Structure 1
């Protein structure tokens, strides 16, 4: 970010395909932790050139939130998590990540955080007054959309927390070297179906931007008004609860989303009645109700000020000609953030992709291969998957290619961790499931952890292969 001499802030769009200064510093610090972890595991490595390893968590609602928690706990138990440079999430995986990164040394406290997650998900802490206050504030913005309502009246109920911290406030836990560097994903609602350039947006504690176009703004100014690459009006930074709604706004079929929102609107109407005697407050709540209903009819999601407005020329699929853009969950594009982690300067050589999807267990990696082929990105060849594997997958698949990163692909439910019960598990832990009992959380955690336990030797071997000193 550029600032004036007084430090008052003359923020500009950064036009570059290089990593942010914050990410460079954070990953340099993390590299020292990785070297120590490799030494602890007895893995030979070139201390001057340690290739990066990334852990990817897919979308999948609360199923992904819980499963990523179990996955990270077990990777840590086997001293494998400390070898990872990056942790990237889509949708429900981002909900787990943001809750962890509030703790500066979270990788060292995973057992404790697992317990806290279980307690949070099984307790009813949602309060109408807190949600309504947040919604009233959000509705005063001209860019109000269903995302705000979804965040405060659905995601808040599911996670039992309205997190008012901001992403930029979590820089400490990404800079201290103790944790992998986090990358969160969203996509442009108007371009993802055609997979056009400029579709994928990344969110880190330092910057929000579009890697394939090389355009970024400081995370503190995401949502502020920009023109010609210069900030002309600063807006308050969006809180984590809003971002959780933005990143996790694709919840199965549109019909499922529609029903969930209409049910939440019904709760909103019922709760409003207690304020019918206070005309001023009741009127404001009624105004929010009408505004949300209009957004529902228009199916308006994730509207925010476009920091590329009048910045880069109309040739970039009209991105520069629109004052606002619509960002949504990356799940409908690719349910795992391969396009972000494959940024050339991230130099990722090994990807541990934990797929928590409920449908075809290979759809994410096949879509990733298609994306990479279209944009000339090196990616291993994905051989045709046998139909029996799609219906009854193993717990781990390894894909390698010349001059391409190695991908280890882990379907959540498989013949190794729930033999003969894959369909049963998928039904019990459906994406549109909004609440989990203690017993269900324990069962899902066990399945996710078993995946890591079963594959720990293979993971060790692939890390050894990735970081082996050049001959």
Structure 2
């Protein structure tokens, strides 16, 4: 374990916590007081689990389980891993469960379970299989959710992703909030959950900014983790995450986002932009051409509201065409025709004429700016407010706006104008833009390593197509941040890349022991040829039409990685238990 630093690079006038009325923000090293209680109580359960195996120790090691990204493949494999860990009694020894991207889809479901549900995760596995086999995506449910989301001023494409893609793939919407898991986690009845994301504006660039990019969500606090041994983390209560702050004070409280949104935020963007645009276009058509939606417009008043709806839908076609490098002229001409003769859109129609004239004389960026101005000119607030479907119109318009700016994961910056820290690049912007941490490292190593949580052993279940990228990227990250991490034999990993073994153990004089488990390997597949076939079957961007047999096989492959290495895992935990006594 590493001692806390005596001096901080950030100026911290106080250490705000749950009872501090001076600020709603907490600046602290390591973990919060609430998390310390949860870890302490979880430690008691871990000790009991160790004693059942004849391991007598006064202090339990900190065992962290990491589950990586990998789309729906990761969701299914994550469920298999956790079910088997539970079956073997190892999950009771785990203090932290940290997930990225596709694995958060599974985690979000599991943390809605009661304590009894965690005793037998086989039930959750059966329910996952049932949903994938029988579940359905209901258009009117998705649309209702999107209309409610559009009432928020931080609506982004992540909202669209949540109610279209993620809901469609998982056949599940979760209304539970992460803060509602506090009692379970505080009592230590479940592993303490950590959902990982990154701040888009910080994910690329200078080395010192890369480590600032990691953003965590826990039942108690959400924010930027402790950075190095001289910089504390900066957090806001999970309940208030997304509310408006200025200077450390809560200005306007917003409802806490639910786990459906959180898992969407943690898993955006999975595909490349072109594939994503095609998917957005498909879902947009499903949502806007649904019979219930069309019926609602038969009673829309005034008539100009219907015109506005038609215009916004045509704008969507224009924007998608623009973003996919298609011919925009026919859509502009259609817009001009729809607007003509309606006094509400005289100015907008004139501007469309200007765009048509300038289209061939402007570059892509200039055209984008013109289309953004056109959106503003077509937004007639009075018509929207008078409409009986104003939320629907807001959803249509805001989705168009977010498409042009490619805006994801918008969240009000709780550190805006907060003077107690010196990291001004984190305090001068009103909004954060959080997204898939897999764009940095496809596993949440930075959130369980020193000096954040000082894990003694990390069980890393990696569902990535590259079996070793998370290990090599983490080693580079740790070197740049001066964080202890065991040495990695890159030559051996390169040699094993096409046919990895099912478990690799990395350990050194400092830092945690890391046990790394590639999903498809020589043990559960037998050969490099079978491994390659498995990756083709369960490719990252395949989100639907998994057969029952394919789901069952993937669950079994992931379970086998745990089962075959049970003795190695328990031996290492036993060894570390004696070392911490």
TM range (shorter): over 0.9
- Matching of residue 390 in structure 1 with residue 411 in structure 2: no
Matched residue, 1:94: 104
Partner secondary structure for residue 209 of structure 1? strand
Shift of 1:20: 1.8
Matched residue, 2:322: none
TM-score of the two chains, using structure 2 as the length reference: 0.77
Shift of 1:128: 1.7
Matched residue, 2:212: 198
Contact kept in structure 2, 1:65 and 1:95, CA below 8 Å: yes
- Matching of residue 277 in structure 1 with residue 298 in structure 2: yes
Task: Give a deviation string over 1:199-233, Cα, whole Å, max 9, x none.
Answer: 11110011101112411111000001111111111
Task: Give a deviation string over 1:396-424, Cα, whole Å, max 9, x none.
Answer: 11100112101001110111111231111
Contact kept in structure 2, 1:2 and 1:10, CA below 8 Å: no
Matched residue, 1:243: 262
Matched residue, 1:413: 520
Distance 1:31 1:470, change over 3 A: closer
How many Å separate the matches in 2 of 1:275 and 1:117? Answer: 34
Matched residue, 1:209: 223
Distance 1:255 1:454, change over 3 A: farther
Higher helix share: 2
Matched residue, 1:219: 238
More displaced 10-residue stretch of structure 1: 387-396 or 375-384: 387-396
Matched residue, 1:339: 446
How many Å separate the matches in 1 of 2:404 and 2:95? Answer: 43
Task: Give a deviation string over 1:264-291, Cα, whole Å, max 9, x none.
Answer: 1221222243433132355642442232
Distance 1:183 1:77, change over 3 A: same
- Matching of residue 61 in structure 1 with residue 37 in structure 2: no
Matched residue, 2:50: 38
Alignment RMSD (CA, Å): 2.0
TM-score of the two chains, using structure 1 as the length reference: 0.94
Shift of 1:344: 2.3
- Matching of residue 400 in structure 1 with residue 471 in structure 2: no
Matched residue, 2:356: none
More displaced 10-residue stretch of structure 1: 101-110 or 28-37: 101-110
How many Å separate the matches in 2 of 1:322 and 1:314? Answer: 14
How many Å separate the matches in 2 of 1:325 and 1:20? Answer: 22
How many Å separate the matches in 1 of 2:416 and 2:72? Answer: 35
The number of residues matched between the two structures is: 465
Unpaired segments of 5 or more residues in structure 1? none
Shift of 1:104: 2.8
Shift of 1:64: 0.8
Contact kept in structure 1, 2:68 and 2:100, CA below 8 Å: yes
Contact kept in structure 1, 2:72 and 2:540, CA below 8 Å: yes
How many Å separate the matches in 2 of 1:431 and 1:147? Answer: 19
Matched residue, 1:426: 535
**Please, which of 78, 96, 99 is the counterpart of residue 88 of structure 2?**
78
How many Å separate the matches in 2 of 1:232 and 1:303? Answer: 18
How many Å separate the matches in 2 of 1:388 and 1:282? Answer: 60
Task: Give a deviation string over 1:180-202, Cα, whole Å, max 9, x none.
Answer: 11111000001112351421111
Shift of 1:464: 1.6
Task: Give a deviation string over 1:48-81, Cα, whole Å, max 9, x none.
Answer: x322010100011111111011001111222211
Task: Give a deviation string over 1:348-370, Cα, whole Å, max 9, x none.
Answer: 11000000112x21001111111
